[in-house]
Chains A and B, each alone.
Chain A
Amino acid sequence: MTAALQVENLHRSFGALHVTRDVNLTLQRGARCALIGPNGAGKTTLINLITGVIRPSSGTVSLNGEDITQLSQADRARRGLARTFQINQLFRGLSVLENICMAIGERDGHNNNLWRSAGAKREVIDEALDHLESLNMVDDALHLVRNLAYGRQRLVEIAIALAQKPRVLLLDEPAAGVPSSESHLILDVVAGLDPDIAVLIIEHDMDVVFRFAKEITVLVQGAVFTQGTPDDIMNNADVRAVYLGEEGHDAARRGGQHG
């Protein structure tokens, strides 16, 4: 079976600074993979390399067996690679519904049409409302994104990516900045993702990582420090030393018991 996403020997340097070194990463269909590492380890850079925001100095990225290293961001997105951003990247002056319709319109090519009214494609609006319904956000459909609470904006961030109907989804700290009283809303959505989608999640909350992920990749200074199952990572003394610390270790144990 070809992997949903395969990253091979990926390398990127800015001058003498090597931000990504020889990274290998494979996501099978339906994978639940977490990417962890200390601040500045190059986690977001890796996502930017995979999605084509920046180009690698060397190495390849393949999506469902197709080499996409030379493709633009948009071409990759249309082939089923979606991402969310660590800091919200939303259409703040538009309504929630329009935000979702935007993703559907680009996915299906409706947005090439400059003559018919946007409202004439009822199936697009219907689908967008279905997405919102699954997130319990229909009541917010007509609210401007900039008027929503931050936690709700975070949900829109994910909803746009889901409306792309991706086969590979990269989540960059989906619950970042959300008050802990609301973070369960987002984590429930993450936990309930379609099992067919391969998911890579960057997350700092070890509770979440150990509950959600089946595989964990630890990134340190741009290189893969170690890869393995949550149990492997939890029992790896080196990982504990460089990153987890005692607190994270406890969380890992708790997470392991839940799982």
Chain B
Amino acid sequence: MSDNKPQTPATQAGNEARLRAMDYLVRRHYFRWAEALPWLIAIALFFILPNRMTFGGQVLIMIMFALSLDLILGYAGIVTLGHAAFFGIGAYTVALASMLAGWSEPISGLIAGGLVAGLVGAIAGWFILRYRGLTLLMLTIAFAAMLQESGNLRSDITGGYDGLPGLMFDPLFGHFQYDLYGHTNYWYVLGVLAIIFYFVRRITYSPFGQALTGIRENVRRMHAIGSPVHRRLVTVYAISAAIAGIAGGLFTQTNAYVTLTVFDFDSSAKVMVMLILGGTGRLYGPFLGAAVYMILEDYLAKLSPTFWQLGIGLLLVLVVLFARRGLLGLAEDIRGYFGRKARASSTPRRLVWKPEHWKALAISALDGGIIGFVAGFATNMKQAALMLSFVTDLPTRAILFTLGGAVIAAAINAIYLLLTSRTAVEEQAS
């Protein structure tokens, strides 16, 4: 090997490159200080906003749910719109254990919820993970819908859509009572989230996690290099289901109440939107995505109880147009942009408007129009009845959303084009 060769400058340079590469892989999973930030914020918020801790607990639960989805979607590339199935299984395991068996100790109940959801995930995964793409997507939706309907058929046990109210849980560690302000609960959920996050982080940096990334990047090659792809997918699906189940269990314990709506398609879709909003496959995407989505939803709902979904819709339009890799991806792009700008700061800069930009503008307006149109229909139909006079009828709403989407998309794209064309000038100059 290289050690036996004479140390010419060339091999020395080779050795340096070798060491650098080795170093990178060996250190990659080391803890970085920036990673403490979300946890410090979570702790700080307890002291800054002690009155909002019930809401805070809900956000943490959604972060955990989105984290479970990140493991399969962001790392293994399994696209699912039925992940609420496992959230619901965990929620109902905890609820039924308390109601039917009197098993009201919270931590063991939570573990049971995770185990049951994980087991169901393993069995369901074994069947459905033979498929990929749209087929898989349909199967995941069907699975969650089946669970919801079976729960509805036995509403004598599940409480149906009226739910199981007034569930009782023991004090945490036999000592800490749940309080009206959700203070105990906040620390409880934060603690569980920290443990779950540690597990997920270890998995994503493990060789197994690398293999999942490989399956996402190129499944054909994984087969060709001897990877037991199906086994790996079922394994990670079961782990993810267990985490979703734990999140569901926490949801039940937090609210002391559960209904069949936990299995809703809405819930599966929402958690995916949160994840994509934050950024997939980055571990911290769920933190940012779930927090931004829920805080915005909360704020907008107070601002305008009838129109709040318009705001969420606009946010999604913006994300789809300009931050397809989520907010974390956008942050990376911006950092890269300023990095380039710093390097090129000596060259003259000016804004240019090129003729071909008109075409790009028209396309983005069309894009925005289509998305606005879809958003106009997709916003909750039940809410439509409650809306103010001029948008209650669907055609008006569709036209309004289409025009709004087109104008906003075009305006933002104009700014975007100017900025990027400026970079192009810099690059030409340098």
A interface residue numbers (CB < 8 A to B): 51, 53, 72-78, 82-83, 85, 89-94, 97-98, 101-103, 105-107, 110-122, 125-126, 129-130, 133, 138-139, 141-142, 160, 164
Contact = CB atoms under 8 A, between A and B. Distances in A.
Contacts of A53: 223
Contacts of B209: 114, 118
A91 B25 contact: no
Contact of A78 (B1, B226, B229): B226
B202 A111 contact: no
Contacts of A85: 220-221, 224
Given A89-B220, A102-B214, A111 B227 contact: yes
Given A103-B225, A142-B24, A91 B213 contact: yes
Given A77-B226, A91-B217, A138-B14, A110 B207 contact: yes
Contact of A74 (B2, B14, B27, B223): B223
B29 A113 contact: no
A105 B1 contact: no
Contacts of A160: 221, 225
B17 interface: yes
A75 B226 CA distance: 6
Contacts of B24: 142
B218 interface: yes
B17 A141 contact: yes
Given A106-B225, A142-B20, A122 B26 contact: yes
Interface in B180-215: 202-203, 205-211, 213-214
B206 A74 contact: no
4 nearest interchain CB pairs?
Answer: A77-B226, A114-B208, A141-B21, A91-B217
B226 A116 contact: no
A140 to B, nearest CB: 9
Nearest to A141: B21
A234 B203 CA distance: 56
20 contacts: A73-B224, A74-B223, A77-B226, A90-B218, A90-B221, A94-B214, A97-B25, A105-B207, A106-B225, A106-B227, A113-B206, A113-B208, A114-B206, A115-B203, A122-B26, A126-B22, A129-B18, A130-B1, A141-B18, A141-B21
Contacts of B1: 130
B32 interface: no
A217 B230 CA distance: 35
A255 B310 CA distance: 71
B17 A125 contact: no
Contact of A106 (B202, B220, B226): B226
A115 B199 CA distance: 8
B270 to A, nearest CB: 27
B219 to A, nearest CB: 9
Contacts of A133: 2, 14, 18
Given A74-B228, A77-B224, A92 B205 contact: no
B350 to A, nearest CB: 29
Given A73-B224, A97-B25, A102-B214, A138 B207 contact: no
Contacts of A102: 210-211, 214, 222, 225
- Most A Cβ at <10 Å: residue of B18, B21, B202, B220: B21
Nearest to B205: A117
B210 A101 contact: yes
B343 interface: no
B206 A116 contact: yes
A114 B209 CA distance: 7
B382 interface: no
B17 A116 contact: no
B272 to A, nearest CB: 20
Contacts of B210: 98, 101-102, 105, 111, 118
Given A73-B223, A74-B229, A138-B14, A112 B218 contact: no
B28 interface: yes
Contacts of B206: 113-118
Contact of B225 (A77, A92, A113, A139): A77
A68 to B, nearest CB: 13
Interface in B297-332: none
Contacts of A89: 218, 220-221, 224
Contact of B208 (A101, A112, A122): A112
A161 to B, nearest CB: 8
Contacts of A97: 21, 25
A129 B21 contact: yes
Nearest to A103: B225
A91 B75 CA distance: 13
A38 B37 CA distance: 61
A150 B26 CA distance: 28
A113 B208 CA distance: 5
Contacts of A105: 207, 210-211
Nearest to B202: A115
A120 B205 CA distance: 10
Contact of B217 (A93, A117, A125): A93
Given A93-B217, A116-B207, A139-B17, A125 B225 contact: no
Contacts of B20: 141-142
B22 A118 contact: no
Contacts of A138: 14, 17-18, 21
Given A89-B221, A119-B27, A74 B207 contact: no
Interface in B231-271: 232, 235
A113 B218 contact: no
A94 B222 CA distance: 14
Contacts of A120: 26
A145 B229 CA distance: 22
B228 to A, nearest CB: 5
Contacts of B29: 117-119
B67 to A, nearest CB: 16
A213 B29 CA distance: 46
Given A73-B224, A82-B224, A102-B214, 19 more contacts: A74-B229, A77-B224, A85-B220, A91-B213, A107-B225, A111-B211, A114-B202, A114-B235, A115-B202, A115-B206, A116-B206, A117-B28, A117-B206, A118-B28, A118-B206, A129-B21, A133-B2, A138-B21, A142-B24
